[in-house]
Structure 1
Amino acid sequence: MTDSKQKLNPDTAIDIAYDIFLEMAPENLDPADILLFNLQFEQNGAVELVETADDWDQEIGVLIDPQEYAEVWIGLVNEQDQMDDIFAKFLISHREEEREYHIIWKK
Structure 2
Amino acid sequence: MTTEFQKLDPDSAIDIAYDVFLEMAGENLDPADVLLFNLQFEERGAVEFVETAENWEEEIGVLIDPDAFAEVWIGLVNENDEMDDIFAKFLISHREEDREFHVIWKK
Interval of TM-score (by shorter of Structure 1 and Structure 2):
over 0.9
Q: Which blocks of at least 5 consecutive residues in structure 1 are unaligned?
A: none
> Where does 1:45-64 land on structure 2 (aligned, <5 Å)?
45-64=45-64
* Whole-angstrom distance in 2 between the partners of 1:15 and 1:63: 25
> Where does 1:64-79 land on structure 2 (aligned, <5 Å)?
64-79=64-79
Give the corresponding residue for 1:102: 102
Percent of pairs identical after alignment? 78
Partner-residue secondary structure (3-state), 2:52: coil
TM-superposed CA distance for 1:6, in Å, is 1.2
TM-superposed CA distance for 1:45, in Å, is 0.1
* Whole-angstrom distance in 2 between the partners of 1:76 and 1:99: 27
Q: Which blocks of at least 5 consecutive residues in structure 2 are unaligned?
A: none
TM-score scaled to structure 1, two decimals?
0.96
Q: Which amino acid aligns with 2:103?
A: I
Partner-residue secondary structure (3-state), 2:33: helix
Aligned CA RMSD, in angstroms, stands at: 0.9
* Whole-angstrom distance in 1 between the partners of 2:74 and 2:64: 21
Q: Which amino acid aligns with 1:88?
A: A
TM-superposed CA distance for 1:5, in Å, is 1.4
Partner-residue secondary structure (3-state), 2:96: coil
TM-superposed CA distance for 1:4, in Å, is 2.5
* Count, aligned residues: 105
* Whole-angstrom distance in 2 between the partners of 1:19 and 1:91: 14
Segments of 4+ in structure 1 off by > 2 A? Answer: none
Give the corresponding residue for 2:82: 82
Give the corresponding residue for 1:36: 36
* Whole-angstrom distance in 2 between the partners of 1:94 and 1:70: 7
* Whole-angstrom distance in 1 between the partners of 2:5 and 2:63: 19
